[in-house]
A = this chain, B = another copy of it.
Amino acid sequence: MPVLNDAARLVVTGGNLAHIVTLNADGSPNVVCVWTGMDGDDIVSAHLNTNQRKLQNVRRDPRVVLSYEPKTRNDQDIDEHLVVYGTARVEEGGGAELLQRLAHVYFGDERRFPDMDDPPAGFVLRVTPERVTGWGPWRD
């Protein structure tokens, strides 16, 4: 059974920011927010620049966490959130195409993004989910 159930997949693909944690060389945590989608059972994000800290971090230590706020509340009136623990890897190419696909979701329209004539191929950060926590209907 996939680690992410249908409710969790909807959060990942529903235009919610992912707070992604990677580990710096000194073991300290690094956090940025990214757009995400699913590719099969993996969570994917798109990046144009290989020198980004989070990509450098993942190449050295693949342990990552993604957390999301779906802006829903549970029956106790508490804000729900989804936390996904997984293992990440960086794939060459495909970044520009994925970024355009995600832009449609996150902007909610058909604009061109990135708005450049010849974007670099970029990179895809691919996370294989291993464990889910948080508040919400993430366990069937």
Residues of B within 8 A of A30 (CB): 65
Residues of B within 8 A of A135 (CB): 33
Q: Which residue of B lies closest to A107 (CB)?
A: B77
* Residues of A90-140 contacting chain B, CB below 8 A: 106-107, 133-135
A41 is an interface residue with CB less than 8 A from chain B: no
With A19-B19, A81-B17 as contacts: A69 and B67 at CB distance below 8 Å: no
Q: Are B81 and A134 in contact (CB under 8 A)?
A: no
* Residues of A21-65 contacting chain B, CB below 8 A: 21, 23, 27-33, 63-65
A83 is an interface residue with CB less than 8 A from chain B: yes
Partner of A19, one of B23, B27, B67, B77: B67
With A19-B67, A21-B21 as contacts: A83 and B29 at CB distance below 8 Å: no
Q: Are A79 and B63 in contact (CB under 8 A)?
A: no
Q: Are B29 and A21 in contact (CB under 8 A)?
A: yes
Q: Which residue of B lies closest to A134 (CB)?
A: B33
New contact pairs (17) apart from A30-B65, A31-B67, A79-B106, CB-CB < 8 Å: A17-B79, A19-B31, A19-B67, A21-B21, A21-B31, A21-B65, A23-B27, A23-B28, A27-B27, A28-B85, A29-B63, A31-B65, A32-B133, A32-B134, A33-B81, A69-B69, A77-B107
